[in-house]
């Protein structure tokens, strides 16, 4: 009888080096590239960045999808105006993602709840298992780029995604406050420890543009993102302004309508992965 895996390779007698330890997709699914969107803390705009990147790449002719790994606090459905939609399955066990107005495929915990306000009161291992099922049980159709919107921190879900999904790279989202510097560095160090490529940094809430003189006003003071990028050799891909248009589009479920020209550099780099 095979010895049960303890996940401690230093004490293991088995040779697992030839085995693919990643979770497998359903036979009918196809996902070419997987991009994680992470941060060391909440409230910096990971879901916003995820939604904007998926929308922008879709406009560039790429087939995109979002796996909403924030099981207990999903916001992706609201951003796309599909919060009332439900995911359906078939006899084979396949779950079909919800499709947005333009054609972006989404899978979120809210699509499986009777009411979108129902809380998910689960412990970490169960949440991590649900994330894996979103990858293995959902019938993803011809996806060029899948974005994984992760919950904040460096705990169960990011660890599960890094170990179980074939992540091609991550984007780390930050905001200008001094407090965020240490949190961002934690996310960078976790990625380095897990040997996950870091595509770059995106700073949200970077500035407010004056509607009269168009001057950029830095509400939170000078940013630390350039220093962090220099310290770790990571490019800064975008600085997203605080904007009434962005806020309104998210609240009204119209994120796909935003142009998001500030993401040009990020999109160009992602397309080369």
Question: Residue 26 CB: number of other CB atoms within 10 A?
Answer: 16
| pLDDT at residue number 180 | 72
Inform me whether the pLDDT recorded for 165 exceeds 90. Answer: yes
Contact 67, 167 (CB under 8 A): no
**pLDDT tens digits, 169-220:** 999 999 887 667 788 888 899 999 999 999 999 999 999 988 888 888 988 8
Write out pLDDT tens, residues 119-132. Answer: 999 998 999 999 99
CA dist., res. 56 & res. 93, Å (int):
32
Q: What is the largest CA-CA distance in the chain?
A: 74
**pLDDT reading at 6 higher than 50:** no
pLDDT at 20 (0 to 100) = 58
Closest CA to 104 of 75, 136, 62, 135: 62
Strands 208-209 and 216-217 come out as antiparallel
How big is the chain by its Cα radius of gyration, in Å?
19
pLDDT digits (tens, 9 = 90+) for 250-259: 999 999 999 8
Candidates 3, 23, 26; CA nearest to 13 is 3
pLDDT at 153: 82
Q: Is the pLDDT of residue 168 over 50?
A: yes
Are the CB atoms for 177 and 220 separated by under 8 Å? Answer: yes
Q: Give the pLDDT mean for 110-124.
A: 91
Kindly report the average pLDDT of the chain as a whole number.
Answer: 89
211 vs 50, residue with greater confidence? 50
DSSP symbol at 9 = G
């Amino acid at each position: 009888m095979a010895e049960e895996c303890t996940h401690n390779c230093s004490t293991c007698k088995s040779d697992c080096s030839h085995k693919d330890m990643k979770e497998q997709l359903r036979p009918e699914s196809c996902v070419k590239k997987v991009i994680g969107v992470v941060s060391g803390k909440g409230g910096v705009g990971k879901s916003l960045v995820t939604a904007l990147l998926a929308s922008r790449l879709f406009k560039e002719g790429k087939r995109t999808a979002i796996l909403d790994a924030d099981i207990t606090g999903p916001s992706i459905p609201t951003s796309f105006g599909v919060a009332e939609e439900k995911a359906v399955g078939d006899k084979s066990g396949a779950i079909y993602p919800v499709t947005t107005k333009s054609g972006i495929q989404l899978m979120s915990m809210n699509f499986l709840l009777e009411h979108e306000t129902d809380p998910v009161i689960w412990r970490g291992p169960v949440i991590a298992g649900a994330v894996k099922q979103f990858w293995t049980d959902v019938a993803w159709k011809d996806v060029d780029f899948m974005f994984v919107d992760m919950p904040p921190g460096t705990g169960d879900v990011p660890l599960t995604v890094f170990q179980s999904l074939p992540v091609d790279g991550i984007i780390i989202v930050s905001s200008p406050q001094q407090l965020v510097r240490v949190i961002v560095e934690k996310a960078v160090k976790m990625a380095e420890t897990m040997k996950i490529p870091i595509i770059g940094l995106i700073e949200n809430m970077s500035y407010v543009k004056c509607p009269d003189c168009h001057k950029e006003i830095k509400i939170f003071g000078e940013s630390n993102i350039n220093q962090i990028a220099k310290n770790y050799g990571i490019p800064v891909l975008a600085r997203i302004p605080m904007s009434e248009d962005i806020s309104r589009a998210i609240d009204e479920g119209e994120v796909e309508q935003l142009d998001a020209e500030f993401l040009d550099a990020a999109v160009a780099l992602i397309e080369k992965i």
